[in-house]
Structure 1
Amino acid sequence: MNLFCTKQFWRNKEMRGGSKRYFKVHPWKIIEDKFCLESNEISESVFSLGNEYMGTRGLFEEGISTNSVENCFIGGIYAKEAQSYGWKRKGFANYSNAMVNTTNWLRITIEVGGEKFNMQRSNFREYSRELDMKNGLLRRQLIFVTRHGEQTQLSWERLISRSDRHIGAIRLSLKALNHQSPVKLGFILDSVHENRTCFNNVTHCRMTEGKADTEQIYLLINVATSGQYYIHRMAVGYPDNVEFEKKYVEKDRYVACNVRFTPKRGVTYNFDKVVSVWTSRDAGYPYGMIPKESDVTVISKDREKEVVEYLITKSRDCLKSWLDKARPQQRVSVTTDAPGALLEESYVSEHFSSGSKRHNSDNQELSENEGGGLYELIKTEHIRKIAEFWDTVDIEIEGAEEAQQGIRYCMFQLSNAYSGHDEYLNVGPKGYTGEHYWGRAFWDSESYCIPFYLFTNPDAARKLIEYRYNTLDAARDRAALFGYNGAMYPITTIDGTEDLNYWEYSFCEIHVNSIVPYVVYLYDHIVGDKEFLYSKGIEILIEVARFWASRGKFIPYRNGFGINRVIGPDEWQQFVNNNFYTNYMAKWVFEYAAQVLEEMKRQSPNKLDAVVEKLGFDFAEMDKWKKAADKMILNYDPEMDVFVQDDMFLSLDPMCREELDWDRDIPIESKWTIDRYLKTQLLKQPDVLLLMFLFRERFTQKQKLRNYRFYEQRTAHGSSLSPCIHSIIASDIGVHHQAYDYYLWASRLDLENSNNNTHEGLHISSMAGSWLNVVCGFGGMKYGGVVPEFAPILPEKWHRYSFKLNYAGSIIRISVSRGNLHYRLISGKSVKAKIYDQEVIFEGEEKEMVMPENCYVFRKAEAVIFDLDGVIVDTARYHYQAWKAIADEEGIYFDEVINERLKGVSRMGSLQIIMEKSQRHYTQQQLQKLAAKKNSLYVRMLDSLGPEDILPGISELIDSLKDKGLKIALCSASKNVNKILDKLKIRDFFDVVITGSDICKSKPDPEGFNLAAQKLGVDNKSCVVVEDAFAGIEAAKNAGMKSVGIGDKCKLYNADYVLSSTSLLSLSTILHLY
């Protein structure tokens, strides 16, 4: 299929180190065994850590001056910036919020013998860095070699605690291998760096208070534009019985504790840095204390002072609590902020024992606090908590470590981004791994991420939906601003207000107002939480249905309800009318909102009365919704049997995706002018196909197949949200090789930098889509029916795989191996389900089921059958010239349009088509004479043919097919085939040749293809036909064969795949049809 994704995928691998992957493949780890400065920003993204409350990129502790994006984020902490426009209209955002870069708490500087260590400038060897996903730890180690030859072994281990979301910790281990030179270490809290890509380098964070002394080290920062506060308090652990010189530094937005000591050769010294992070959000202010449209705080100065004191106290108590657990018999007496006061229970000191290891006389490592110490306790609790996560969500894959590593990485980063503690947070497209997309919530949080959380952590799914409920008032205000009824959710937001200053998207990309009700439905359908549905969910449904009723209109010209000037999920088709996805989803919202209201009449009339009163709802509104739903415009082309993306889609240029060049065209949004891609049928990402995923039960296999064939080859995958959906639909329709390639692209997208933008941050929603790939694609899970349904397949390269689901509070597990499937209930109540349409019950004991053979043995291409004219050689021009001469001589009108109908048709059949324009009657004898005359003209023209006339790419493709062991045939209605093959000197290319002399019936009759397959000894379903004529494609379909069309996508819409030229044909084109 000449997948553009494959070309892009491998090209990037070559860019990052030849044929070898930059990161080593390992089932539980991401390993970097060499340092590449040019790739460092990519590595920073890949090695990110988080726990929902906060997160950091994979920064080096000592810092690096270039090729680095220094980001440490805290969830819900943001700054705002006034927007300016050359011309401003009503509805444009006055301010935009963006996640703000907070204090870099990772900083630890190292100096040996007067030389500072730096990855960019220092000499070092034996470098490696690894992300241990199983334990949630980031490690780095190397040997630092100074200019004077001093060698020091350094290792770092970092975590962001899963057991206490306020805690982050680092252990630095240091061993002087051949020296006793002085070592200086700096333990730093640095809030100097602002966002690199936002806010035009404006300073948004200012220091309220900074302390660095023997009792406490912290930075308290205020975000000037949002009024929020955050504090980082640091504690440092030193080895016991070592003499240190200490110096404390306080500067603006910077505090540090610098230590100096002289190490003993061969002794390992552990230094621990633990931070406690708290924000004004913890004090009861989930969003900014300065409203978006104001410069004045909403709370009093006294209350603001209380918030500051709260953060100072809570951050201190948090560290003290951990220290007390680590050293239950030890108490440190320190003064509080009140002069003269003394509290034994208050831990503020920056010093604690790290339990450093040291050598005895026998050169064995011993520890004074083996297994103890604050860092070890934090680490132990953290590992215990993350083990609980893996126990309930892990996907195991045997036989393909790259697939295993990819999916675990996706799940790990999803858990870093969100875990369900905060209903005022959402999942940003980059999580905490980069500034791109500003840390705002987009629509893909609902369409991709919530299904992942719903089946792994239902409480987290509810919290994400509650986020939309908590911002419903802002959505109401936005609808009113635009003159609409109900609630209009923004396309990007942090606090519920619109943040995007690209007006075309914020005004027209309104489909988010359907996906929010969709996840309300999904949560109720799976979990059955009627309390939520009848209180909060119903408000969302009513208000959004009101919006759609006022946003759309009845269009007399179309005799239907239309929604005009919108942008669907595919953002390269803009300001269109009646986008299929948008209209279908709005129709569904009308229907579902009415359904829930009717349900509440029966099940909960009191709650319905309360909602009716609160919202001023009139049931006459529901009647209008039903009428709009019934008359909704949904574009469909009966000839091609596809749902058309919008009113004008078929009028656009159907350019071939394969014509795109990586260097010249990718990324399209950067290298093309906007009007250029707006004029083509190129899709950025799935639109109709995304809808078919959301409502898989509503569309037939035939509909999925037709629409997949039509849209897949038009999709350039400019969005990371694209490959995963294509993989799932490909699995649904049995295109398994293609599905697997798309899965690898999605699950390893950031590990391979496949979209060439991992340096900006990870693609969190795509990672959720990768989980859906395994469970809904390969696992065949459908969840729209009464019970969950599964129809697993086993990808060819896998020996076995298993996945776990949290279904309405019950943990179930399915394990798939070649020929056998096992399923069981791990915990909770029994679950009724269907597997391969057979009713089953997940109960305590494991049960076994035999898999259908076609779910693990997949058909492959075994033979390719080529047409001749227009595929192997272009003799079509000779045919045209000969027929044109005959027609002109007879006074019959004939042009290239009529000539198109002759492709694949026999000589006499072609003559009959030409005669349709004739006014005179011809006898059969006269027709035979004209046909012979045409053939004579044509044969004389063939004398000029030679090997140089073989069409581009054909010789190379045939060589590839032979190397792969595929059989090759040629099938043509022409009776001059042998002469042409002799002229081209390619007769030996083909195992079988079928000519017009061998068959009686013309295409679209499959006689010729059937005969070719029979002589090849290959089943029809394992044959691929390469054709340039509609009739030839139809013949292939009638024979039950796959087909590749060469020519116009719109004219050859019946082919499985269409290329504009034979030069784009490749072996992968053939193989990926299955």
Structure 2
Amino acid sequence: MLNYNKTLTESLKNWTFSEEKFDPLLLGKCESIMSLGNGYMGLRSATDEPYIGETRNLFVNGTFNKFDENEVTELPNAADVTRLDLFVDGKRFSLEQGSTQDYSRVLDLRHAELVRSFVWESPEGKQIRYTFRRFVSLDQVHVIGMKLEVTPLNGEIDFTVRSGINAQLSNTGSQHFHEGEKRIFDKKYLQLLQTTTESKVDFVMHASHQFKLQGQAVELMPKMDIDRRKIAMEYSCKIASGETLVMEKISTVHTSRDKAFEGQGLAVMREAALEQLKQADAQGYDALFEQHKQAWSKVWEQYAIDVETEQPFDLLAIRFAIYHLVVMTPAHDNRMGIGAKGLSGEGYKGHSFWDTEIFILPFYIYTRPEIARSLLEFRYLGLEGARRKAKENGYEGAMYPWEAAWPTDGEVTPVWGAVDIVTGLQTKIWSGFIEQHITSDIAYAVWHYYKATGDQDFMDRYGYEMLFDTATFWASRLEWDESASRYHINEVIGPDEYKEHIDNNAFTNYMAHFNMELAIQYYEELKATRPELLTSLEEKLGLAAAYGVWTDKIGQIYLPAPNENNIVPQDDTYLTLETIDLTKYKKQKKVGSLFLDYSLDQVCKLQVSKQADIMMLFFLLENKFSPEVKRANYNYYEPKTLHDSSLSLSTHSILAGDFGDIDLAYDLFRRATEIDLGPNMHSSDAGIHSASIGGIWECIVMGFAGVRMLDGHLHLNPKLPKSWTGFKFPLYWQGARLEVHVTRDTLNIVTVSEQELELIIHGSTIKFHKELNVQF
């Protein structure tokens, strides 16, 4: 179904991939992986003409709403502007009728444009060439551009297009908007005003159309239609054989979440939004698209990564990853996070997980530090909800929600999930209650960002407070075990979500210890060097008492140690559980096949893991464990890991590279790239996998280049897959942009920074100014 070698022009080689055959039963994949966006909004790439089974989604970042008090807050599915109802000689056009030749739907990653074209022959024998184009502007983030070209090839046709703004949509049944107000100005400009039911976010949607026949503008008199939650225009004309009718549709989206309209009122927003539509309509598709292309050219200059390889798919995959990282990230607003499905689908309801801090944030730390800071400021703004969650659960400090939406919302994880195949009941989702490592993951990310960037202003304003209050949570969370004379962390879920209600998950315990360790270190540093700052934080957080608790407890936290076989127990019981033959599940074509045979309660009693758990610990705190311990645990746990989470493969790839098994590292990297971009045509129905996409970049930069920040020092340990001869990537370190080029036997780093830089290459400390050349 997917062609990874589609080349529209030579300049787009390894920049595009395509769907080569239309299948109405396989709509979701391309809707997701070809989705468009700009961080402000995301548009799922449903076909222009409608089909049963399609999912039309338009999400605006940060506009969360709760349909009902018993529902979960989610990004509301805004009104659709992409649907076109097309009629040829009075009959509805559909690819499910007639026949199709030369079908192609292409996502051009370089220019962020979706292009679909084909020749369609109607049941009556009329042949028509269609071309559909679409983009979501990166230059004017409120603008969506569409273009339709229709050319009859063997006779005149009567052609009709019905287009507008359709709010007769929901989030899988949940309706998030009031009816709203609809209006048409000058028989041309369509306007829909709607407000979310609970959060009271105003949406202002506009659309306009213009037509050209054989390159000349034509005025087509529309039939206007306003109905419940819907506003539309219908245009008709005759098109002679060989002539081309072009329709351009420009739409704009604004909401009261926009900082530009804070405190301004709906009347001001609707007037400004209508004026922007008129200006965009006057510019037209081509001019708007040219500006959009220029904005994307700056993106590719900023993230200039290249792979010299015999496998061009690898280069396409990293470009695919960077493309989606850009379109999903709200770089414009620190009040917003990144959803686990980005803005490409309704999966996970637009909520942010630890995916951001562990799998996506490193990309921005080392390529656009200012965006990394914005994402961490989102977590700072979430302290209010985190403190509320801690208090509600009987703890102190800040206990971050497993799933986050608007920063002050607190915990928004759904309580109920899929069916239990044994009982027939809905399975309770315990993550929001007991998957608590998210708190130390965020603390780790604060430390990672600070050490890599040296951003002292961030720490003074936000970072120290986050580290101190999360440490206070962990200190209150510890439970004293009298028989063992130590502190435990009981009744949790670790990264391996196939193990619920466990005690002393190694990842959780070590990361909590690390969180408290950081707080003690920075408290003592501030006391010695920045007493005035410590005093201001003391007044807010009661740090003197907290420091006493941290130092009293930290030395008594149980940190599971390697046993006689060098295996670190994942939790108190994992190594005692029953083992089963996992061969068929390891070979599964669809994740979660284990649950066709077992319930979650049964899986909890087996030595089987969903994803990296101990391996995540070795990745984040790698210098706390010997290579022998890490390898022994890799050999023990990986055969028991089904990689049912998209987070898992990239971590295992990086660690395999650390062990020197480059073939395995590359194989796991390729498998990670194929989670979304691969041949499984149902893998991405609910949306792309944000963390896995961040993991693709991590595999290359943190895996094959061996980039790590350890104890405040930048390490590089390059090792190339067999099919690669070299690769290049940018890397920011302490405010300096480095251009890194790795080949089989050389490392070249160039920077325009005037400062002397210090790196550790294959364990040797090297200082350089402007340029570094190392021979391996």
Query: What TM-score does the superposition give when structure 2 sets the normalisation length?
Result: 0.92
**Counterpart in the other structure of 1:436:** 347
1:587 to 485, 496, 513: 513
CA distance in 2, matches of 1:461, 1:563: 30
CA distance in 2, matches of 1:792, 1:428: 32
1:462 to 348, 373, 390: 373
**Counterpart in the other structure of 1:406:** 317
Task: Report how far residue 83 of structure 1 moved.
Answer: 5.9
**Counterpart in the other structure of 1:70:** 56
CA distance in 1, matches of 2:494, 2:220: 63
Structure 1 segment 414-433 matched on structure 2, within 5 A: 414-433=325-344
CA contact (8 A) 2:355 2:690 kept: no
Secondary structure (helix, strand or coil) at the match of 2:667 reads helix
> Unpaired runs of 5+ in structure 2?
7-12, 416-428
Task: Please give the root-mean-square deviation of Cα atoms over the aligned residues, in Å.
Answer: 2.2
Task: Report how far residue 171 of structure 1 moved.
Answer: 1.4
**Larger relative contact order (C-alpha < 8 A, sep ≥ 6)?**
2
Note if 1:235 corresponds to 2:145. no
CA distance in 1, matches of 2:208, 2:708: 50
CA contact (8 A) 1:427 1:445 kept: yes
Deviations 1:955-1000 (A, max 9, x none): xxxxxxxxxxxxxxxxxxxxxxxxxxxxxxxxxxxxxxxxxxxxxx
Note if 1:282 corresponds to 2:193. no
CA distance in 1, matches of 2:209, 2:530: 57
**Counterpart in the other structure of 1:58:** 45
Distance 1:756 1:246, change over 3 A: closer
Deviations 1:132-188 (A, max 9, x none): 001111100011222332222111111111112111111112222222222112221
Secondary structure (helix, strand or coil) at the match of 1:98 reads coil
**Counterpart in the other structure of 1:386:** 296
CA distance in 1, matches of 2:153, 2:19: 24
Secondary structure (helix, strand or coil) at the match of 1:506 reads helix
Task: Report how far residue 69 of structure 1 moved.
Answer: 1.4
1:641 to 541, 566, 573: 566
CA contact (8 A) 1:812 1:842 kept: no
**Counterpart in the other structure of 1:688:** 614
CA distance in 1, matches of 2:720, 2:290: 37
Deviations 1:474-506 (A, max 9, x none): 111111111111111111121232112335221
CA contact (8 A) 1:57 1:71 kept: yes
**Counterpart in the other structure of 2:424:** none
Structure 1 segment 208-607 matched on structure 2, within 5 A: 208-213=180-185, 214=187, 216-239=189-212, 240-282=216-258, 307-322=265-280, 352=282, 373-397=283-307, 398-495=309-406, 496-502=409-415, 504-607=430-533
Secondary structure (helix, strand or coil) at the match of 1:184 reads strand
CA distance in 2, matches of 1:547, 1:816: 43
**Counterpart in the other structure of 2:739:** 813
CA contact (8 A) 1:190 1:255 kept: yes
**Counterpart in the other structure of 2:65:** 79
Distance 1:585 1:664, change over 3 A: closer
Task: Report how far residue 841 of structure 1 moved.
Answer: 5.1
Distance 1:320 1:774, change over 3 A: same
Note if 1:161 corresponds to 2:72. no
**Counterpart in the other structure of 2:599:** 673
CA contact (8 A) 2:67 2:176 kept: no
Task: Report how far residue 753 of structure 1 moved.
Answer: 5.3
Distance 1:683 1:165, change over 3 A: same
Task: Report how far residue 48 of structure 1 moved.
Answer: 0.7
Number of positions where the alignment pairs a residue of Structure 1 with one of Structure 2? 749
1:203 to 144, 163, 175: 175
CA contact (8 A) 2:719 2:744 kept: no
Give the AA of the match of 2:230: Y
**Counterpart in the other structure of 1:1041:** none
CA contact (8 A) 1:535 1:611 kept: no
Secondary structure (helix, strand or coil) at the match of 2:45 reads coil
Task: Report how far residue 315 of structure 1 moved.
Answer: 1.0
Task: Report how far residue 780 of structure 1 moved.
Answer: 0.8
CA contact (8 A) 1:128 1:141 kept: yes
CA contact (8 A) 1:283 1:310 kept: no
**Counterpart in the other structure of 2:33:** 46
Deviations 1:582-602 (A, max 9, x none): 010110111101111122223
Bigger mean CA offset, 520-529 vs 749-758:
749-758
Note if 1:738 corresponds to 2:664. yes
Secondary structure (helix, strand or coil) at the match of 1:586 reads helix
Distance 1:819 1:205, change over 3 A: same
Q: Percent identity?
A: 28
Give the AA of the match of 2:496: D
2:708 to 771, 782, 788: 782
CA distance in 2, matches of 1:111, 1:211: 25
Structure 1 segment 835-984 matched on structure 2, within 5 A: 835-840=761-766, 844=770, 847-851=772-776
CA contact (8 A) 1:62 1:118 kept: yes
Task: Report how far residue 203 of structure 1 moved.
Answer: 2.7
Distance 1:169 1:841, change over 3 A: farther
Secondary structure (helix, strand or coil) at the match of 2:218 reads coil
CA distance in 1, matches of 2:673, 2:481: 43
Give the AA of the match of 2:126: E
CA distance in 1, matches of 2:761, 2:589: 46
Give the AA of the match of 2:179: M
Deviations 1:180-213 (A, max 9, x none): 22211222111101112xxxx2432223211124
Secondary structure (helix, strand or coil) at the match of 2:222 reads strand
CA distance in 2, matches of 1:70, 1:671: 33
Give the AA of the match of 2:622: R
Distance 1:48 1:848, change over 3 A: same
> Unpaired runs of 5+ in structure 1?
1-16, 85-94, 287-302, 324-351, 353-372, 852-1074
CA distance in 2, matches of 1:586, 1:210: 53
Distance 1:815 1:437, change over 3 A: same
Task: Report how far residue 551 of structure 1 moved.
Answer: 1.1
CA distance in 1, matches of 2:748, 2:710: 23
Task: Report how far residue 81 of structure 1 moved.
Answer: 4.0
Distance 1:754 1:677, change over 3 A: farther
Secondary structure (helix, strand or coil) at the match of 1:608 reads helix
Note if 1:142 corresponds to 2:123. no
**Counterpart in the other structure of 1:1042:** none
Deviations 1:62-118 (A, max 9, x none): 221x2311211111122214465xxxxxxxxxx520111111111223222222222
**Counterpart in the other structure of 2:582:** 657
CA contact (8 A) 1:29 1:133 kept: yes
CA contact (8 A) 1:823 1:842 kept: no
Distance 1:241 1:713, change over 3 A: closer
CA distance in 2, matches of 1:134, 1:665: 31
CA distance in 2, matches of 1:455, 1:494: 25
CA contact (8 A) 1:115 1:146 kept: no
Secondary structure (helix, strand or coil) at the match of 1:750 reads helix
Larger Rg: 1
Deviations 1:23-72 (A, max 9, x none): 557621111111122222112111111111111111111221x2311211
Task: Report how far residue 215 of structure 1 moved.
Answer: 5.0
Give the AA of the match of 2:618: M
Note if 1:799 corresponds to 2:725. yes
